[in-house]
Amino acid sequence: MTDKTSSIESILNYVKDKKIKFVDFKFMDFPGQWQHFTVPVTQLNEKSFAEGYGFDGSSMRGWKAINESDMLIIPDPETMLLDPFIIEPTISIICDVYEPITREKYSRCPRHIAQKAEAYLKTTGLADMCYFGPEAEFFIFDDVRFKSAPNTAFYEIDSVEGRWNTARDEKPNLGYKPRYKEAYFPVPPTDALMDLRNQMVTTLIDMGVNVEAQHHEVASGGQSEIDLKFQPLVKAADQILLFKYVVKNTARLNNKTVTFMPKPILDDNGSGMHVHVSLWKNEKPLFAGSGYAGLSEMALYFIGGLLKHAKSLCAFANPTTNSYKRLVPGFEAPVNLAYSQRNRSASIRIPMYSDNPKSKRVEFRCPDPSANPYLAFAAILMAGLDGVKNRIDPGDPLDKDIYDMPPEELQNIPSTPESLKQALKELANDHDYLLQGDVFTEDVIRTWINFKMEKEIKPMSLQPHPYEFALYYDI
């Protein structure tokens, strides 16, 4: 009996024992949101894990035309969880997307791309495991309103923690509003979200997610972070999606709302998704050594690959127009492409908390939580491997506070793209490293660029911005 067969049998027994009524199938669309549909438990049997379930692929963003819309999802039995947010007893299973005619995994399925990246790593012989430890920051708000129409455009967000509310009549206003850029991290009552984050963490742990810590983040207005223990690439991406699902739904149960939008508040810190990466082989860490910051030669070459391809990586790691409102100097944003030990003003940091070789890792600080984690993690791995294979020298480290450096020194340090459009241009010109092992394909790259241009960049360029009225109305 294989482990997979055992997992399927375990699921069918669990469904029977726990009197489960529904099965919710979750899968990833191209831009980066979980999608789902649900079947009565009577529709689940052993054949379900081989034959799958059909759905309309033409309704998924960036996927099929209407004349070729039939697609399949096939459940991954190792991802089954009890869903705590659905009233009727419901299990949730993550699925892979397949072509119904060829019965092959769909080339634009982000989870498939991540799976190919893991498989490609093993074929290189360099390592057999890549661990990812993402830290996705987010904002917890009490209210959000927005509208974009031919004659109006606005947004308004609010938080009981918002520093902008110090004068609001709250009957009574108790005054505990974290100062801008100073919310990392005072104790309650200034931190008003402690119990809510604990509730989120409890739910994550109950669902089998290994949580390391939770805390308030730097920005006023409810910025928070919950750290998850590192996992292999595909599982790390699966967990980020589960993490978002739990955080959003827990907030909703408490009449609050969560956003992973990178920069929802003006003049305060945005939300990043710092990604910790390490390579292993035969259960031994490969990034520990006698080089700079205790790194191995492999780790330094991995950094070299990240720095060489960082601008094109941003097309996947920072994939929204809003991402580049976070990537600006002055808000701890890693806009300068350099590496350093301990230094959070560098785009690549080597954490120095422990001298245990198993803890030695590289922290890539550019990404943000709007990223599709399957695509972002796969691209990060491919860039790092390109550095290792081609022995790309990362240059000298930068152990200064980059934000305090004089302009004549800063001009020699490359920086991240200033816009999503620029990042996509970088991707168009620099993506051969992503094509190795057929992990990404030319079709995936082209479709990603075209989708972002047509659905996000062009509409944004046509929309008058509210601040333009402040600048230009009286011209």
Catalytic residue (one of 217, 268, 368, 386): 217
* 379 touches 313 (CB < 8 A): yes
pLDDT tier at 355, thresholds 50, 70, 90: confident
Tokens of 233: 């690439």
Q: How far apart are the first and last CA of the chain?
A: 77
Q: Which of 348, 360, 347 is nearest to 416 (CA)?
A: 347
How far CA 270 is from CA of 224, 256, 273, in Å, comes to: 11, 19, 10
Residue 112 makes CB contacts below 8 A (sequence gap 6+) with 96, 97, 105, 106
Catalytic residue (one of 225, 268, 426, 456): 225
Catalytic residue (one of 96, 137, 227, 268): 137
Catalytic residue (one of 96, 135, 142, 227): 135
- Convert 219-279 into a string of H (helix), E (strand) and C (coil): CCCCEEEEEECCEEHHHHHHHHHHHHHHHHHHHHHCCCEEECCCCCCCCCCCCCEEEEEEE
- Secondary structure (DSSP) of 44-76: --TTHHHH-EEEEGGGSTTS--GGG-EEEEEE-
Its pTM surpasses 0.85: yes
pLDDT digits (tens, 9 = 90+) for 278-325: 999 999 999 999 999 999 999 999 999 999 999 999 999 999 999 999
| pLDDT for the residue 410 | 75
DSSP state of 295: B
What percent of the chain stands above pLDDT 70? Answer: 96
Q: Buried (b) or exposed (e) across 319-330, using 16+ Cβ within 10 A?
A: bbbbbbbbbeee
What values do phi and psi take at 214, rounded to 5?
-140, 150
Catalytic residue (one of 103, 252, 344, 391): 344
257-259 and 273-281: which strand pairing? unpaired
Helix (H) or strand (E) holding 205: helix 194-206
212 catalytic, yes or no?
no
56 catalytic, yes or no?
yes
Q: How buried is 7 (Cβ within 10 angstroms: 0-12 exposed, 13-18 middle, 19+ buried)?
A: middle
| pLDDT for the residue 451 | 95
Catalytic residue (one of 163, 365, 386, 456): 365
365 catalytic, yes or no?
yes
- Secondary structure (DSSP) of 365-396: ----TTS-HHHHHHHHHHHHHHHHHTT-----
Catalytic residue (one of 51, 56, 170, 454): 56
| pLDDT for the residue 1 | 36
pLDDT digits (tens, 9 = 90+) for 196-229: 999 999 999 999 999 999 999 999 999 999 999 9
pLDDT digits (tens, 9 = 90+) for 36-50: 999 999 999 999 999
| pLDDT for the residue 66 | 59
d(CA 465, CA 451): 22
135 catalytic, yes or no?
yes
- Matching residue, tokens 């910790």: 276
How far CA 21 is from CA of 10, 12, 18, 291, in Å, comes to: 16, 12, 9, 56
